[in-house]
Amino acid sequence: MVDAQTGEPAQEPDWLTDEEKAAWVPLAAMLVKLPPALDAQVQRDIGANHFEYGVLAHLSEAPGRTLRLRELAARTNGSLSRLSHVVKRLEQRGWISRKPSPDDTRYANVVLTDAGWDAVVKAAPGHVATVRRFVIDPLSATQLRYLRSISTRIVDQFDTDEAERDQR
Protein backbone atom coordinates (compact mmCIF):
# COMPACT_ATOMS: atom_id res chain seq x y z
CA MET A 1 0.00 0.00 0.00
CA VAL A 2 1.19 3.51 -0.86
CA ASP A 3 0.10 6.74 0.83
CA ALA A 4 -1.68 8.75 -1.88
CA GLN A 5 -0.39 12.09 -0.54
CA THR A 6 3.25 11.28 0.13
CA GLY A 7 3.92 8.39 -2.23
CA GLU A 8 5.58 6.63 0.72
CA PRO A 9 4.62 3.14 1.85
CA ALA A 10 1.48 3.46 3.95
CA GLN A 11 1.57 2.36 7.54
CA GLU A 12 -0.68 -0.63 8.18
CA PRO A 13 -3.78 0.32 10.24
CA ASP A 14 -4.01 -0.95 13.79
CA TRP A 15 -6.81 -3.39 12.90
CA LEU A 16 -9.28 -4.49 15.55
CA THR A 17 -8.70 -7.83 17.17
CA ASP A 18 -11.52 -10.38 17.07
CA GLU A 19 -12.44 -9.50 20.65
CA GLU A 20 -12.39 -5.74 19.93
CA LYS A 21 -14.50 -6.25 16.82
CA ALA A 22 -16.96 -8.40 18.80
CA ALA A 23 -17.43 -5.41 21.16
CA TRP A 24 -17.50 -2.75 18.43
CA VAL A 25 -20.02 -4.31 16.03
CA PRO A 26 -22.97 -4.42 18.48
CA LEU A 27 -22.10 -0.93 19.74
CA ALA A 28 -22.13 0.37 16.17
CA ALA A 29 -25.50 -1.31 15.61
CA MET A 30 -26.87 0.35 18.76
CA LEU A 31 -25.59 3.73 17.57
CA VAL A 32 -27.56 3.25 14.35
CA LYS A 33 -30.77 1.79 15.83
CA LEU A 34 -31.29 3.73 19.08
CA PRO A 35 -31.43 7.34 17.77
CA PRO A 36 -34.29 6.67 15.31
CA ALA A 37 -36.28 4.89 18.04
CA LEU A 38 -35.85 7.86 20.38
CA ASP A 39 -36.65 10.33 17.59
CA ALA A 40 -39.78 8.42 16.55
CA GLN A 41 -41.28 8.52 20.03
CA VAL A 42 -40.72 12.25 20.52
CA GLN A 43 -41.89 12.97 16.98
CA ARG A 44 -45.14 11.09 17.67
CA ASP A 45 -45.73 12.79 21.00
CA ILE A 46 -44.79 16.42 20.30
CA GLY A 47 -43.49 16.70 16.74
CA ALA A 48 -39.87 17.24 17.77
CA ASN A 49 -36.68 15.23 17.50
CA HIS A 50 -34.76 13.69 20.39
CA PHE A 51 -32.15 16.44 20.52
CA GLU A 52 -34.86 19.11 20.70
CA TYR A 53 -36.57 17.16 23.48
CA GLY A 54 -33.23 16.99 25.31
CA VAL A 55 -32.94 20.77 25.15
CA LEU A 56 -36.43 21.14 26.61
CA ALA A 57 -35.81 18.48 29.27
CA HIS A 58 -32.55 20.08 30.46
CA LEU A 59 -34.25 23.45 30.71
CA SER A 60 -37.15 21.88 32.62
CA GLU A 61 -34.71 20.62 35.26
CA ALA A 62 -32.72 23.87 35.57
CA PRO A 63 -33.39 26.43 38.30
CA GLY A 64 -35.94 28.90 36.97
CA ARG A 65 -36.12 26.75 33.80
CA THR A 66 -33.21 28.87 32.55
CA LEU A 67 -29.68 28.10 31.37
CA ARG A 68 -26.97 30.13 29.68
CA LEU A 69 -26.64 29.05 26.04
CA ARG A 70 -23.11 27.71 26.54
CA GLU A 71 -24.19 25.66 29.59
CA LEU A 72 -27.14 24.26 27.66
CA ALA A 73 -24.79 23.26 24.84
CA ALA A 74 -22.57 21.42 27.33
CA ARG A 75 -25.50 19.63 28.95
CA THR A 76 -26.96 18.52 25.61
CA ASN A 77 -23.56 17.58 24.18
CA GLY A 78 -24.26 19.84 21.21
CA SER A 79 -22.14 22.48 19.57
CA LEU A 80 -23.09 26.12 20.00
CA SER A 81 -23.80 26.25 16.27
CA ARG A 82 -26.18 23.28 16.35
CA LEU A 83 -27.83 24.52 19.51
CA SER A 84 -28.37 27.99 18.00
CA HIS A 85 -30.32 26.44 15.13
CA VAL A 86 -32.37 24.30 17.51
CA VAL A 87 -33.05 27.24 19.81
CA LYS A 88 -34.33 29.23 16.84
CA ARG A 89 -36.73 26.41 15.87
CA LEU A 90 -37.94 25.97 19.44
CA GLU A 91 -38.43 29.74 19.78
CA GLN A 92 -40.58 29.71 16.64
CA ARG A 93 -42.76 27.06 18.30
CA GLY A 94 -43.08 29.20 21.43
CA TRP A 95 -41.38 26.58 23.61
CA ILE A 96 -38.38 28.65 24.64
CA SER A 97 -37.26 32.25 24.62
CA ARG A 98 -33.84 33.89 24.60
CA LYS A 99 -33.10 36.70 27.02
CA PRO A 100 -29.93 38.60 27.83
CA SER A 101 -28.28 37.34 30.98
CA PRO A 102 -29.00 39.72 33.86
CA ASP A 103 -25.44 39.07 35.12
CA ASP A 104 -23.75 39.89 31.82
CA THR A 105 -25.69 41.10 28.78
CA ARG A 106 -22.99 39.73 26.45
CA TYR A 107 -24.46 36.29 27.13
CA ALA A 108 -27.87 34.88 26.31
CA ASN A 109 -30.03 32.82 28.61
CA VAL A 110 -32.46 30.29 27.23
CA VAL A 111 -35.75 30.07 29.12
CA LEU A 112 -38.34 27.30 28.91
CA THR A 113 -41.80 28.82 28.39
CA ASP A 114 -45.03 27.42 29.81
CA ALA A 115 -45.79 25.96 26.38
CA GLY A 116 -42.34 24.31 26.38
CA TRP A 117 -43.02 22.91 29.84
CA ASP A 118 -46.30 21.45 28.53
CA ALA A 119 -44.40 19.82 25.64
CA VAL A 120 -41.92 18.21 28.06
CA VAL A 121 -44.73 16.97 30.29
CA LYS A 122 -46.48 15.48 27.24
CA ALA A 123 -43.36 13.76 25.85
CA ALA A 124 -41.69 12.61 29.08
CA PRO A 125 -43.79 9.49 29.78
CA GLY A 126 -43.23 8.11 26.28
CA HIS A 127 -39.56 9.06 26.40
CA VAL A 128 -38.91 7.24 29.66
CA ALA A 129 -40.88 4.21 28.41
CA THR A 130 -38.73 4.11 25.24
CA VAL A 131 -35.49 4.48 27.23
CA ARG A 132 -36.63 1.72 29.60
CA ARG A 133 -37.61 -0.58 26.73
CA PHE A 134 -34.40 -0.28 24.74
CA VAL A 135 -31.73 0.52 27.33
CA ILE A 136 -32.67 0.07 30.99
CA ASP A 137 -34.89 -3.02 31.20
CA PRO A 138 -32.68 -5.39 29.16
CA LEU A 139 -29.79 -4.83 31.60
CA SER A 140 -29.10 -6.00 35.14
CA ALA A 141 -28.17 -3.52 37.86
CA THR A 142 -24.52 -4.50 37.44
CA GLN A 143 -24.70 -4.05 33.67
CA LEU A 144 -26.25 -0.61 34.16
CA ARG A 145 -23.33 0.41 36.37
CA TYR A 146 -20.94 -0.83 33.68
CA LEU A 147 -22.91 0.99 30.99
CA ARG A 148 -22.65 4.22 32.96
CA SER A 149 -18.92 3.76 33.50
CA ILE A 150 -18.23 2.79 29.89
CA SER A 151 -20.41 5.54 28.41
CA THR A 152 -18.85 8.17 30.66
CA ARG A 153 -15.37 7.07 29.72
CA ILE A 154 -16.14 7.23 26.00
CA VAL A 155 -17.86 10.63 26.24
CA ASP A 156 -14.95 11.97 28.29
CA GLN A 157 -12.65 11.25 25.32
CA PHE A 158 -14.69 13.67 23.20
CA ASP A 159 -14.59 16.29 25.95
CA THR A 160 -10.81 15.89 26.23
CA ASP A 161 -10.37 16.25 22.46
CA GLU A 162 -12.58 19.36 22.42
CA ALA A 163 -10.64 20.94 25.29
CA GLU A 164 -7.36 20.29 23.48
CA ARG A 165 -8.74 21.85 20.25
CA ASP A 166 -9.95 24.88 22.20
CA GLN A 167 -6.43 25.39 23.64
CA ARG A 168 -4.80 25.47 20.18
Q: Quote the mean pLDDT of the chain.
A: 92
List, in order, residues 6 or more apart from 74 with CB less than 8 Å away: none
Residue 102, pLDDT score: 86
Structural contact between residues 90 and 52, judged by C-beta atoms closer than 8 angstroms: yes
Count CA atoms closer than 13 A to 61's CA, side-chain side. 10
pTM, two decimals, is 0.84
For residue range 106-158, list pLDDT tens digits in order: 888 999 999 999 999 999 999 999 999 999 999 999 999 999 999 999 999 88
Helix (H, G, I), strand (E, B) or coil at 111: strand
Q: Which backbone phi and psi does 37 adopt, to 5 degrees?
A: -65, -40
Alpha-carbon distance of 50 to 139, in angstroms, equals: 22
Quick one: DSSP state of residue 148? Answer: H
Alpha-carbon distance of 25 to 63, in angstroms, equals: 40
Alpha-carbon distance of 84 to 94, in angstroms, equals: 15
Single-letter amino acid code for the residue at 13: P
Quick one: DSSP state of residue 137? Answer: T
Tell me the pLDDT band of 42, cut-offs 50, 70 and 90: very high
